[in-house]
Amino acid sequence: MDQKTQASAQAIIYHNPACGTSRTVLAALREAGFEPKVIEYLKDPPDRKTLETLLKRMGRNLREILRKRGTPYEELGLDQPGVTDDALYAAIAEHPILIERPIVSIGDSAALCRPAEVVNELIAAVRKS
Protein backbone atom coordinates (compact mmCIF):
# COMPACT_ATOMS: atom_id res chain seq x y z
CA MET A 1 0.00 0.00 0.00
CA ASP A 2 1.53 3.31 -1.00
CA GLN A 3 1.55 6.38 1.26
CA LYS A 4 -1.46 7.97 -0.46
CA THR A 5 -3.54 4.79 -0.20
CA GLN A 6 -2.46 4.30 3.41
CA ALA A 7 -3.51 7.83 4.26
CA SER A 8 -6.96 7.18 2.82
CA ALA A 9 -7.41 3.92 4.77
CA GLN A 10 -9.08 5.23 7.90
CA ALA A 11 -7.71 3.62 11.04
CA ILE A 12 -9.97 3.45 14.07
CA ILE A 13 -9.02 2.21 17.51
CA TYR A 14 -11.57 1.34 20.16
CA HIS A 15 -9.37 2.47 23.01
CA ASN A 16 -9.20 2.51 26.77
CA PRO A 17 -6.48 4.98 27.83
CA ALA A 18 -6.16 3.20 31.20
CA CYS A 19 -5.09 -0.02 29.43
CA GLY A 20 -1.38 -0.52 28.74
CA THR A 21 -2.04 -2.82 25.78
CA SER A 22 -4.37 -0.25 24.26
CA ARG A 23 -1.78 2.52 24.69
CA THR A 24 0.92 0.31 23.11
CA VAL A 25 -1.30 -0.44 20.10
CA LEU A 26 -2.15 3.25 19.64
CA ALA A 27 1.56 4.12 19.68
CA ALA A 28 2.31 1.34 17.15
CA LEU A 29 -0.35 2.68 14.77
CA ARG A 30 1.11 6.17 14.96
CA GLU A 31 4.65 4.85 14.52
CA ALA A 32 3.47 3.02 11.38
CA GLY A 33 2.20 6.29 9.91
CA PHE A 34 -1.48 6.11 10.81
CA GLU A 35 -3.29 8.81 12.73
CA PRO A 36 -6.24 6.77 13.92
CA LYS A 37 -9.60 8.00 15.00
CA VAL A 38 -9.55 7.23 18.71
CA ILE A 39 -12.84 6.11 20.18
CA GLU A 40 -12.84 5.76 23.94
CA TYR A 41 -15.35 2.95 23.88
CA LEU A 42 -16.21 3.21 27.58
CA LYS A 43 -17.47 6.76 26.99
CA ASP A 44 -18.74 6.22 23.43
CA PRO A 45 -19.51 2.50 23.01
CA PRO A 46 -20.08 1.06 19.54
CA ASP A 47 -23.68 0.16 18.75
CA ARG A 48 -24.79 -3.32 17.74
CA LYS A 49 -24.50 -2.63 14.01
CA THR A 50 -20.93 -1.36 14.42
CA LEU A 51 -19.99 -4.40 16.52
CA GLU A 52 -21.53 -6.74 13.95
CA THR A 53 -19.49 -5.07 11.19
CA LEU A 54 -16.29 -5.30 13.25
CA LEU A 55 -16.93 -8.97 14.05
CA LYS A 56 -17.44 -9.75 10.37
CA ARG A 57 -14.18 -7.97 9.46
CA MET A 58 -12.36 -9.87 12.23
CA GLY A 59 -13.88 -13.23 11.35
CA ARG A 60 -14.90 -13.68 14.99
CA ASN A 61 -18.09 -14.27 16.91
CA LEU A 62 -19.43 -12.09 19.69
CA ARG A 63 -18.33 -14.36 22.54
CA GLU A 64 -14.73 -14.14 21.30
CA ILE A 65 -14.50 -10.41 22.05
CA LEU A 66 -16.07 -10.48 25.50
CA ARG A 67 -13.85 -9.37 28.34
CA LYS A 68 -14.35 -11.56 31.37
CA ARG A 69 -11.77 -10.32 33.89
CA GLY A 70 -12.63 -7.13 35.75
CA THR A 71 -16.15 -7.01 34.34
CA PRO A 72 -19.64 -8.11 35.42
CA TYR A 73 -19.42 -11.05 32.93
CA GLU A 74 -20.04 -13.86 35.45
CA GLU A 75 -22.26 -11.75 37.71
CA LEU A 76 -24.60 -11.19 34.74
CA GLY A 77 -24.59 -14.92 33.94
CA LEU A 78 -23.04 -14.34 30.51
CA ASP A 79 -20.89 -17.45 30.97
CA GLN A 80 -23.97 -19.65 30.53
CA PRO A 81 -24.13 -21.45 27.15
CA GLY A 82 -27.79 -20.57 26.53
CA VAL A 83 -27.23 -16.80 26.57
CA THR A 84 -28.31 -15.42 23.21
CA ASP A 85 -26.45 -12.86 21.10
CA ASP A 86 -29.36 -10.47 21.71
CA ALA A 87 -28.76 -10.76 25.46
CA LEU A 88 -25.00 -10.31 24.96
CA TYR A 89 -25.48 -7.16 22.86
CA ALA A 90 -27.88 -5.79 25.49
CA ALA A 91 -25.32 -6.47 28.24
CA ILE A 92 -22.58 -4.76 26.20
CA ALA A 93 -24.81 -1.73 25.63
CA GLU A 94 -25.28 -1.45 29.40
CA HIS A 95 -21.68 -2.40 30.31
CA PRO A 96 -19.23 -1.51 27.49
CA ILE A 97 -16.39 -2.75 29.72
CA LEU A 98 -17.47 -6.20 28.47
CA ILE A 99 -15.76 -5.47 25.13
CA GLU A 100 -12.18 -6.74 25.04
CA ARG A 101 -9.73 -4.11 23.92
CA PRO A 102 -8.26 -2.69 21.86
CA ILE A 103 -10.07 -3.36 18.60
CA VAL A 104 -8.48 -1.75 15.56
CA SER A 105 -10.14 -1.28 12.19
CA ILE A 106 -8.21 -0.20 9.10
CA GLY A 107 -10.14 0.02 5.87
CA ASP A 108 -12.04 -3.25 5.47
CA SER A 109 -9.91 -5.16 8.00
CA ALA A 110 -10.13 -5.32 11.77
CA ALA A 111 -8.51 -7.18 14.64
CA LEU A 112 -8.68 -7.57 18.38
CA CYS A 113 -5.13 -6.46 19.14
CA ARG A 114 -4.51 -8.50 22.24
CA PRO A 115 -1.66 -9.22 22.50
CA ALA A 116 -0.46 -5.86 21.20
CA GLU A 117 1.71 -7.46 18.51
CA VAL A 118 -1.44 -8.40 16.57
CA VAL A 119 -1.60 -4.79 15.35
CA ASN A 120 1.61 -5.39 13.37
CA GLU A 121 -0.04 -8.31 11.55
CA LEU A 122 -3.06 -6.12 10.76
CA ILE A 123 -0.86 -3.30 9.46
CA ALA A 124 1.16 -5.72 7.31
CA ALA A 125 -2.03 -7.28 5.88
CA VAL A 126 -3.48 -3.87 5.04
CA ARG A 127 -0.27 -2.77 3.35
CA LYS A 128 -0.21 -5.91 1.19
CA SER A 129 -3.71 -5.23 -0.14
Residues tagged active-site: 19
Whole-angstrom Cα distance, residue 77 to residue 20? 28
Q: Are strands 109-112 and 103-106 parallel, antiparallel or unpaired?
A: antiparallel
Q: Is the peptide bond before 102 cis (omega within 30 degrees of 0)?
A: yes
Count how many residues are written for the chain: 129
